[in-house]
Structure 1
């Protein structure tokens, strides 16, 4: 047995027949080889829901939004909002879905409470059709540059992080 292998605990779970049939179909569709793998992934996903994490927890993730860019001042407001949270935003991708709608993916890293605030300020805007915050745990590290976000890395050239 490998040293890095986690100890497993067995337990029984009872399902109504229609629910287990749906779950087994889900397992096939997702490509799992057994129920245990699927249940472990579902539990991990549930434990990473932003509502389950502590507000001061360091996290990384995305804010995905769809909005109508014809709504007066909305694109400018969203850009200004992102500038206000520039320390928490790593990158953005903007896609034109059709004549009216834009999809934007914002890659974020920081304290969950700040990212929740950013997400909340986006989702309540008139013209924002969808906004979702998805995060995962982030272990705080001090990188070679000594910054608080653990941005220490080597690219083969010297630079400073702002």
Structure 2
């Protein structure tokens, strides 16, 4: 582990300590590490350097919209290699909230979430991408090799 020192004005240090406390961090080091990770991962995503990601997309839609539920299900079936699972919640008599959990190539996830969000009747879609590394592994308790998605350190 590498250590370094930073200097902050008294005002910035106070604001940072309030920010840390509000989020439940136990120390400044963990907060700084998380801020750095977030900034680095954001850069990877912005500059298309994240090859693999895990992601969620949450969206609201009216289930009475003509054939919309069927169109959304078809999109999910077409992307069965990306879609890990789906959660469906009834908000009221008309509206539903779905959250899909995805993993795979970042560009494929982006294309899929763009298509899904563009469906007529889909509202309030939000995508959360988390860049990961892909590692092929073989465990002693498995007879086949498989892949793990690991977060970047």
- TM-score w.r.t. the length of structure 1 is 0.71
State the partner residue of 1:160: none
Select the structure that is richer in helix: 2
State the partner residue of 1:119: 113
Runs of 4+ in 1 over 6 A off after TM superposition: none
Change (3 A) 1:39 1:120: same
The answer as to whether partners of 1:48 and 1:135 remain within 8 angstroms in 2 is: yes
Q: Aligned ranges for residues 35-74 of structure 1 at < 5 Å?
A: 35-49=28-42, 50-54=45-49, 57-74=51-68
Number of equivalences: 142
Please list every run of 5 or more consecutive structure 1 residues that lacks an aligned counterpart in the other structure: 1-5, 152-162
- TM-score w.r.t. the length of structure 2 is 0.74
State the partner residue of 1:79: 73
Please list every run of 5 or more consecutive structure 2 residues that lacks an aligned counterpart in the other structure: none
CA distance in 2, matches of 1:80, 1:73: 11
Note if 1:30 corresponds to 2:7. Answer: no
